A and B are shown apart, each in its own frame.
Chain A
Amino acid sequence: MTVRCYYKIMEKIKYTIEELGELTGFTRRTIRYYVQEGLIDPPAGRGRGGFYYDSQVQQLLRIKSFQEKGIGITAMVSLMKKEAPEPVLPSREVMIRYEIVPGMEINISREMEIKEPKKVLEIIRIAKSIVKGEMNNE
């Protein structure tokens, strides 16, 4: 990696709204409208005098590609909503592990442990006593 590349990556390229317009072909008015409607991220810095970055360039180019396919803003928005699937959150469950004897364990869910603490303890005691008892019996 050359030193120049390094600096370019480190120093994020800023664009004024004029430059953004020139890069993407959208008018100033249209860019303002997209910011207003939340279709692109708002500029950083002081209100209207702020700067735009590559992320907004990418967003605008994406909108442009839709338009070139003949898809207008309203249709694009509903398409984007359909595209993004509902994120499936992995379900997490906490299990508590009780060792009865090495090689034998009982896993109780935390939920159950909180719900029926006495029962859980009783089950563990009985399990332990059975195993110990047998060992005694032997």
Chain B
Amino acid sequence: MNESSRVEGILIQQNGEAVPLVGVDIQADVAGRGAKVRISQQFKNTEKKSIEAVYKFPLPENAAVCGFRALIEDRIVEGRIEEKEKAFELYDKALADGHKAQLMDEERPNIFTLSVGNIKPGSSVIIEITYITLLDSYNAEVRFFLPTTISPRFTPASQVDENGIPVNDLVNPPFAFKVPYGLTINVNISNRKAIASIESPSHAINTSFKNDEAHVIFSADKVSMDRDFILTINYEKNFSNRAYISQYHDETFLQIDLTPDEATEVGQADYLPKGREIVFVLDCSGSMQGDSIEEAKKALEILIKALRPDMMFNIYRFGNGFDHLYQSSKPYNEKSMKEALKYLSKTEASMGGTEILPPLEDICKEAPADGFRRDIILITDGEISNEDEVMDLVQRHNNTTTISTVGIGRGTNEFLIKGVARAAGGASELIAPQERIEPKVLRLFQKVLAGRIGNLKIDCGNKIDQAPAYPVAFMRQATSIFAKIKKGDSKGKCVTVKQYDRQGITLGKWNIDLETVNDETMPISKLWAREKIRDIEEGSVTHEGSRQSPRKEGRKQNEVVALSRKYGIISRSTSFVGIEKKSDTEKTDSNMELRIVPTLVTSGWHGLQYQPTILYSRRADAQYSIRCMSDVYGDEPADISAPTFMRRAGAMLRRPFQRVAKPTSDRKTRSMKDDDLLKILSLQCAGGGFNIDRVIEDSLQISHSEWQSIKDDMNVKNHPDCLRLLATAIILAFLEVSFGARRNEWEGVVAKSRNWLDEQITKVSPTIKGKPLADWAKKFVMDRLKMLQDA
């Protein structure tokens, strides 16, 4: 008998059935931004009957799944790619005939279903799945991301069944509060000398070094599969532009890694309009309850304070329905800012399901005002199942509206977050619960303000098939563009990437030398195939809306199947299937019990909390552990010394090392400093400029009387904005001096204050004791900080 209890709209199974999944192990090899990952899922049948085990699990959405095999006793059964329904037929027929078979289907780019048939009583099977991927990066930071459970997806009532099967059953596994299987991991990162630090905001990890590699494992023997695993690797140097060429059989492939930054030839944002309209869209559905909604509100508050006086804005909230601050976007000023903050403070995650389409349709139904370009910033956990519909909509409107996405929560739907941003030419950012939300949100906002570097094309002298066909780059973020050379050998030793505007005029150009690599070590062919498949599946190539004729759909599918089979990468139209034919004596009765493996509900979903784990990590080559996550929960942080083998023999003290010289107190200072930065940023006035506040008084130890005496020394002491001028100059100088290294996080945000100050300086030429205000302020701040340090 099935006993089930309802928890916030999802059915939790508590039947007495045995769970055939015993454990999951991950082996990952990371080199630079590339990763090759092998997932081993171990199944064991402890029942008296043969079983068919079915398991739904997630993978990173851009993974190129290229390997699938089953280890049964001492035998290996290699899987192969087949068209999806054909693969099922082969699998099903094999089971009907008494053979063993395995099947892996892609339901979404980040959701897969594994079926392992005919597991005899008492026997075990290990399924090995291999994928390769390029990791997200920003400056010198690389993010290794691996989801471990599928968060419950909201399936809108309007969503059509796929092939006669309700989408809910395709994407949502059965959930449970407890499962008998856990996760182990082993990450090997090569070129350890290039690594500055390794951290995990999601799990407690142990890092060790051997030869040229860094090894990362979980601190615990095994962990629950209830949250994403995130590993942040900071390299010593930023990524530079690189270009690679390789041979696969008789075909030649190119991979270009582009990281646009100020120092190199910078492409211009392809369309910087005079007016900007920013619409914030906030997910207030039930699944956001708890940490997620609070983080989202914090993020939004910062963004609202960062808006510029010449912008228009609006805020939408959605769940089952939606509402908005204003009927249509209004100009940003002190008054509307206050109204927005008030609207935000009253926001709760109580709006029910996650219907993302209606609010987006409502915003896009009218074109933006003349001369204005609209940017939507969507903050959500993305836990919906109609990603395709949403992506279609945003693609249809991408010439008037750009959408950038912020994904938050422990089990965010990466495919939606990144897919929507891709379809709309915007930026995306994923934030794990223990990661500081503000720096990433500010980073995203800067990208939105700076605009995208789009319409990039590789020029190598040959005819090429480029994937993605329309890549979009952002400052300081590595973007990879692939190409297959159609005819002839590659002509040159170097390759050019050009950026074009709508009229075809070249806006930017990068020349990069080509390096030859081996396709075995760097499988560019597979990565190209993955991008090409994605372009076709997401419709980016044609840039047409979803209204495709059935014949075109059919042709698209044939192309995907062909690519998938040729390069051995799974797709939405193909599956991996493995069959082990048994002799007549070994065949089993095709009567087997179906066992669907339940998965854990994502920790933090709907505010459900598990035991908070004390999470800590060790910086590579640092002397002790820092960033204890228990800070988040308010407990006393643990102080852990690293074993001696972690200290680099004879290494010169580097800045990161120095910064962590005093563990406990430094950690507290660091987090206080972070808070100071945010507090300061929130002091901005709507029109630009800062007001005096406790936080700056405390940081610089400026007393009330001192302000007064400085003011008296100003030539503009009778100016109504005198104190504001003073505070602004001092605060900007303070940011430069104290947070110079984190300029990326705050520069764009305070641009409006800088502009305001520059304007005032031009108008009234403020001086203090004869010295120009800005210069005086800089000297004042430096002297004051030095004085405080020496004290």
Task: List residues of chain A with CB within 8 A of the CB of B96.
Answer: 47-49
B163/A27 in contact, CB under 8 A? yes
Which residue of chain B has the shortest Cβ distance to A36 in the bound complex? Answer: B594
A32 and B92 in contact (CB under 8 A), knowing A46-B591, A47-B592, A72-B166? yes
Which residue of chain B has the shortest Cβ distance to A70 in the bound complex? Answer: B160
A interface footprint on B158-178 (CB within 8 Å = 1, 0 otherwise): 001101111011000000000
| Nearest CB on B from A44, distance (A) | 13
Task: List residues of chain A with CB within 8 A of the CB of B88.
Answer: 27-29
| Nearest CB on B from A22, distance (A) | 12
B591/A73 in contact, CB under 8 A? no
Report if B97 contacts A (CB, 8 A).
yes
B92/A28 in contact, CB under 8 A? yes
Which residue of chain B has the shortest Cβ distance to A75 in the bound complex? Answer: B157
Chain B interface extent, by class = 20 to 34
Report if B95 contacts A (CB, 8 A).
yes
A67/B164 in contact, CB under 8 A? yes
Task: List residues of chain B with CB within 8 A of the CB of A27.
Answer: 85, 88, 163-164
Task: List residues of chain A with CB within 8 A of the CB of B594.
Answer: 36
A46 and B589 in contact (CB under 8 A), knowing A27-B85, A27-B88, A28-B89? yes
Contact of A49 among B85, B163, B165, B590 (CB under 8 A): B590
| Nearest CB on A from B97, distance (A) | 7
A30 and B89 in contact (CB under 8 A), knowing A46-B590, A47-B589, A47-B592? no
A48/B95 in contact, CB under 8 A? yes
Cα-based distance from A101 to B686 in the complex (angstroms): 106
Report if A136 contacts B (CB, 8 A).
no
Report if A107 contacts B (CB, 8 A).
no
Contact of B163 among A17, A30, A36, A74 (CB under 8 A): A30
A33 and B591 in contact (CB under 8 A), knowing A28-B89, A48-B95? no
Contact of A73 among B85, B89, B166, B589 (CB under 8 A): B166
Q: In B593-610, which residues have CB < 8 Å from any A CB? A: 594
Task: List residues of chain A with CB within 8 A of the CB of B165.
Answer: 29-30, 33, 73
A30/B164 in contact, CB under 8 A? yes
| Nearest CB on A from B163, distance (A) | 5
Cα-based distance from A101 to B324 in the complex (angstroms): 87
* Majority-rule SS of A interface residues: helix
Which residue of chain A has the shortest Cβ distance to B159 in the bound complex? Answer: A72
Task: List residues of chain B with CB within 8 A of the CB of A15.
Answer: none
A47/B166 in contact, CB under 8 A? no
Cα-based distance from A41 to B381 in the complex (angstroms): 40
Task: List residues of chain A with CB within 8 A of the CB of B160.
Answer: 72
Cα-based distance from A55 to B85 in the complex (angstroms): 25
Report if A20 contacts B (CB, 8 A).
no
A74/B589 in contact, CB under 8 A? no
Which residue of chain A has the shortest Cβ distance to B590 in the bound complex? Answer: A47
| Nearest CB on B from A53, distance (A) | 17
Which residue of chain A has the shortest Cβ distance to B97 in the bound complex? Answer: A49
Q: In A4-63, which residues have CB < 8 Å from any B CB? A: 17, 26-30, 32-34, 36, 46-49, 63
Task: List residues of chain A with CB within 8 A of the CB of B157.
Answer: 75
A47/B591 in contact, CB under 8 A? yes
A74 and B168 in contact (CB under 8 A), knowing A29-B85, A48-B95? yes
A72 and B161 in contact (CB under 8 A), knowing A27-B85, A49-B97? yes
| Nearest CB on B from A70, distance (A) | 8
Task: List residues of chain B with CB within 8 A of the CB of A46.
Answer: 589-591
A29 and B166 in contact (CB under 8 A), knowing A36-B594, A46-B589, A49-B590? no
Which residue of chain B has the shortest Cβ distance to A74 in the bound complex? Answer: B166
Which residue of chain B has the shortest Cβ distance to A18 in the bound complex? Answer: B89
Which residue of chain B has the shortest Cβ distance to A67 in the bound complex? Answer: B164
Which residue of chain A has the shortest Cβ distance to B50 in the bound complex? Answer: A47
Task: List residues of chain A with CB within 8 A of the CB of B592.
Answer: 47
Cα-based distance from A32 to B590 in the complex (angstroms): 14
Which residue of chain A has the shortest Cβ distance to B52 in the bound complex? Answer: A48
Cα-based distance from A122 to B603 in the complex (angstroms): 74
Task: List residues of chain B with CB within 8 A of the CB of A74.
Answer: 166, 168
| Nearest CB on A from B575, distance (A) | 10
Task: List residues of chain A with CB within 8 A of the CB of B168.
Answer: 74
Task: List residues of chain B with CB within 8 A of the CB of A48.
Answer: 92, 95-96, 590
Cα-based distance from A8 to B723 in the complex (angstroms): 100
20 A-B contact pairs sorted by A residue (CB < 8 Å): A27-B163, A27-B164, A28-B89, A29-B163, A30-B164, A30-B165, A32-B92, A33-B165, A36-B594, A46-B591, A47-B589, A47-B591, A49-B96, A49-B590, A63-B164, A67-B164, A72-B160, A73-B165, A74-B168, A75-B157
Q: Given A27-B88, A47-B590, 11 other A-B contacts at CB below 8 A?
A: A30-B163, A30-B164, A32-B92, A34-B164, A47-B96, A47-B591, A48-B92, A48-B96, A49-B97, A67-B164, A72-B166
A residues engaging B (CB < 8 A)? 17, 26-30, 32-34, 36, 46-49, 63, 67, 72-75
The 7 closest A-B pairs by CB, nearest first: A47-B591, A47-B590, A48-B96, A49-B96, A30-B164, A72-B161, A29-B88
